[in-house]
């Protein structure tokens, strides 16, 4: 086949997989009908193009080749749907789909084989994948009876950390716990857990409480996981934690090593996430070292040892897509060595990507796979022109800067699209850390090889890297602590993403545009910054974030931001900060603390560490009971928050009952600190915010308070008394809770009050033009509330 024809067909296949994005990312199983319509529509447009394009591009491919490319596009769409994970008839997820299953509210025991090495989650629980084979549950008729049946499926299992001690892949275990449906992203910018599980081929999770072993004596299965554990343990022995895990991550990738999240987050924040991902750099280093050591041997021997090394390394890293892509390109280089032919890097990259997507088409939407491909493409097409532009620098320095710039340039638009922010000093950090990264990686590989022979020797080799690793961590921390180390840009649209890559592509292809790089850069920045800036200046938006039972509200008023927060540290980490990042918010103008309990006030530590606050209103000091312990904590916490705010040149204020806080065009009055109650005036609307109140307090408020005409009440989902509702007479009620008291729901329906609740609707958004909108689609208004 003509190479040009193969390139066209490969690109057609990749394009067909990308067209599946018109149906949304594979976060749910889409019907064959929808895919068939997209495939037929693509086929019709392709036929038109196959007839039209050859008339204007006479030197291009012939019509029959265009027709073949169109058919490949349509087949790729159908193939993608065929490879989407589907639950089998006896899949364990079917248990939750059965409406009369008692297991939805009771403990069950699932037996199966461990498929991965246990890892630590952010919530300090152990996590592993389990291939389910058997299910045991209590019968609904007789609580003493147990039904056991065979099941299939893959489970995302979390258990108390100590329960994972000694678990290994291939081990048969039984986990007792509760099955649950994974939730989609309830807040804008939050992690979509359901989509993540679907991409992994799982449909339910298991919150485990106890791990048992059906077979007391089990023989450990041999596998590459044992070699991986030998290397990791050897490197941790003398380096300690987290330096040992960091070294192992730098040679095996963070997906194969349980690296502490604080270290991982620091590297990502500094723009060094690629250092913790096994990729082409590692393959090049390994393959180059092997070929250099085997120079005296024949090419066939070099090929055999080289390919064996690639297979072992891919297995040790857990078969990550980025490593497999680099390994296939490395295999191409080995074949070229044997056949004495020259390798075309771009062609090799296209072949590698096509083979991997034929193996697993779902990788087309894997962010790691996309970033790996784009970074490699950038290195192949951009490093050489950049090096020529930097010819005034020493060659080594110019090469390091060119590599860093090329990879950053090609991955930046995708990072903005998915992560909404940029690491300001990324290029500088990469240039400074490049020598350290090479030294540590090379030393890590030598240490790993030594650990396979003698673990103590591997530990000794790793210990020699103590100070280089310490220096690397110091550099990362230094740049992360600098002002403006990361800037939230906000989510860009798909059209902005395509435009940015179009500008980058034109600059690489056209020498004329390459010489005018400053103009291309100006246009790119304008198309990203100008729409975001214009939107901020005109936006008025209120968002109530979805939380368990904690009240969090964000107001954006023409560039000014107000945050009301009563959430804990997890709420700040998983809901507040991702939302602010997605909205492109880097500063809070007014922050209001609504909860005085210690675990809730700790959330402000995370927020103040990431964002600056101009004015902090503290309404919580008088909420704490008068005890020595709570008073002591209140003073310490107040001083800590006040110190953090003032260190940012902000203003810290204590708010007493009856005081009004002026927040631009919005006014919020603290009616009562205990029980917490606020009156908020927004665009000629009155909102009442209720904290947790006992029924007795609610009845007293209904008698003693003179409530204004109220549009919205917002509360935490507990029961509301008829007296309070009749006194307030709201038009809309919003509950920040996963569950709502059924009696309260009935009262609201009787009063014809429109109800929203975050446990069902996700985050609630209000704008003057569109009114109230929900993040999650409401399928059934009468959905089960408890």
pTM for the predicted model, two decimal places = 0.86
How far from the centroid of its chain's Cα atoms is residue 53's Cα? 41
Pairing of strands 764-767, 560-565: unpaired
Q: Where are the beta strands (DSSP E) in 73-161?
A: 108-114, 119-120, 125-138, 146-150, 154-160
Give 447-473 pLDDT, tens digit per residue: 999 999 999 999 999 999 999 999 999
Going by C-alpha positions, the residue among 326, 246, 245 that lies closest to residue 288 is 326
SS3 620: coil
- The parts of the chain modelled with pLDDT lower than 50 are 25-29, 99-103, 141-142, 623-634, 778-786
Give 735-758 pLDDT, tens digit per residue: 998 888 888 999 999 889 999 999
Residue with tokens 């990469």: 430
Residues 703 and 721 sit within 8 Å (Cβ to Cβ): no
How far from the centroid of its chain's Cα atoms is residue 489's Cα? 17
Q: Which 8-state DSSP code applies to residue 128?
A: E
CA distance 350 to 14: 10
Residue with tokens 């904290």: 691
Pairing of strands 560-565, 587-593: parallel
pLDDT at site 221: 66
435-444 CB burial, b ≥16 within 10 A, e <16? ebbeebbebb
How many separate helices (H) and strands (E) can be counted in the chain? 29, 24
pLDDT at site 459: 94
Triad 387, 389, 393: Cα angle to 5°: 70
What is the H or E stretch that residue 32 is in?
helix 32-56
* Pairs from 403-410 (Cβ < 8 Å, separation ≥ 24): 403/379, 403/434, 404/430, 404/431, 404/434, 406/378, 406/379, 406/382, 407/274, 407/375, 407/378, 407/379, 408/271, 409/378, 409/382, 409/504, 410/374, 410/375, 410/377, 410/378, 410/382, 410/504
Per DSSP, the residues of 294-312 read TTTS-HHHHHHHHHHHHHH
């Amino acid at each position: 086949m003509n190479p040009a024809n193969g390139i066209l067909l490969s690109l057609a296949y990749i394009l067909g997989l990308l067209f599946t994005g018109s149906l949304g990312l594979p976060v749910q199983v889409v019907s064959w009908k929808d895919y068939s319509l997209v495939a037929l529509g693509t086929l019709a447009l392709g036929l038109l193009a196959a007839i039209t394009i050859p008339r204007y591009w006479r030197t291009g491919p012939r019509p029959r080749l265009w027709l073949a490319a169109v058919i490949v596009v349509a087949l790729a769409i159908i193939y993608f749907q065929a490879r989407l994970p589907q639950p089998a008839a006896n899949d364990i997820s079917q248990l939750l789909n059965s409406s009369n299953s008692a297991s939805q509210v009771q403990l069950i025991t699932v037996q199966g084989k461990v498929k991965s090495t246990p890892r630590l989650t952010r919530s300090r629980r152990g996590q592993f994948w389990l291939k389910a084979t058997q299910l045991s549950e209590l019968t609904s008729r007789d609580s003493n009876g147990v039904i056991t049946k065979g099941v299939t499926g893959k489970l995302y299992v979390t258990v108390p950390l100590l329960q994972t001690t000694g678990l290994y892949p291939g081990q048969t275990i039984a986990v007792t716990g509760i099955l649950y449906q994974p939730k989609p992203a309830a807040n804008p910018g939050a992690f979509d857990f359901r989509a993540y599980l679907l991409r992994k081929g799982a449909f339910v999770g298991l919150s485990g409480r106890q791990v048992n072993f059906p077979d007391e004596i089990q023989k450990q299965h041999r596998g590459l996981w044992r070699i991986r554990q030998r290397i990791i343990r050897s490197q941790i022995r003398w380096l300690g934690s987290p330096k040992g895990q960091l070294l192992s991550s730098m040679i095996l990738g963070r997906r194969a090593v349980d690296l502490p999240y604080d270290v991982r987050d620091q590297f990502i924040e500094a723009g060094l996430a690629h250092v913790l991902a096994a990729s082409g750099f590692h393959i090049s280093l390994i393959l180059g070292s092997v070929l250099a050591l085997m120079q005296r041997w024949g090419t066939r021997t070099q090929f055999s040892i080289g390919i064996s090394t690639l297979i072992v390394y891919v297995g040790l890293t857990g078969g990550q897509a980025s490593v497999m892509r680099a390994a296939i390109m490395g295999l191409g280089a080995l074949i070229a060595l044997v056949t004495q032919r020259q390798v075309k890097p771009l062609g090799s990259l296209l072949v590698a990507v096509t083979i991997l997507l034929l193996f697993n088409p779902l990788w087309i939407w894997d962010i790691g796979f996309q970033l790996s491909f784009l970074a490699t493409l950038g290195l192949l097409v951009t490093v050489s022109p950049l090096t020529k532009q930097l010819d005034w620098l020493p060659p080594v320095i110019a090469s390091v800067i060119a590599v860093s710039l090329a990879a950053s340039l090609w991955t930046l638009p995708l990072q903005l699209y998915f992560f909404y922010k940029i690491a300001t000093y990324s290029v500088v950090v990469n240039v400074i850390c490049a020598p350290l990264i090479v030294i540590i990686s090379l030393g890590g590989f030598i240490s790993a090889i030594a650990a396979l022979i003698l673990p103590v020797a591997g530990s000794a080799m790793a210990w020699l890297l103590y100070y280089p690793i310490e220096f690397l961590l110091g550099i990362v921390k230094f740049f992360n602590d600098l002002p403006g180390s990361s800037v939230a840009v906000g989510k860009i649209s798909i059209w902005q993403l395509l435009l940015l890559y179009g500008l980058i592509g034109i600059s690489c292809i056209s020498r004329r545009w390459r010489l005018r790089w400053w103009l291309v850069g100006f246009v790119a920045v304008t198309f990203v910054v100008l729409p975001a800036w214009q939107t901020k200046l005109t936006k008025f938006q209120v968002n109530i974030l979805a939380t368990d039972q904690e009240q969090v509200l964000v107001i954006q008023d023409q560039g000014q931001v107000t945050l009301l927060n009563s959430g804990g540290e997890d709420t700040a980490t998983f809901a507040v900060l991702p939302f602010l990042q997605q909205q492109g918010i880097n500063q809070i103008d007014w922050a209001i603390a609504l909860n005085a309990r210690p675990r809730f006030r700790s959330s402000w530590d995370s927020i103040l560490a990431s964002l600056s606050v101009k004015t902090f209103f503290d309404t919580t000091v008088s909420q704490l009971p008068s005890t020595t312990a709570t008073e002591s904590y209140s003073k310490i916490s107040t001083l800590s928050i006040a110190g953090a705010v003032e260190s940012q040149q902000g203003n810290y204020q204590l708010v007493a009952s009856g005081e009004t806080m002026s927040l631009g065009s919005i006014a919020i009055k603290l009616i009562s600190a205990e029980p917490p109650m606020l009156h908020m005036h927004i665009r000629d609307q009155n909102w009442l915010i209720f904290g947790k109140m006992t029924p007795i307090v609610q009845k007293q408020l209904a008698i003693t308070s003179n409530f204004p005409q109220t549009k919205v009440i917002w509360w935490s989902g507990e029961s509301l008394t008829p007296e309070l509702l009749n006194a307030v007479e709201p038009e809309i009620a919003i509950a920040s809770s996963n569950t709502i008291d059924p009696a309260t729901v009935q009262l609201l329906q009787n009063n014809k009050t429109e109800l929203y609740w975050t446990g069902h609707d996700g985050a609630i958004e209000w704008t003057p033009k569109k009114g109230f909108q929900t993040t999650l689609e409401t399928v059934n208004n009468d959905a089960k509330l408890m």
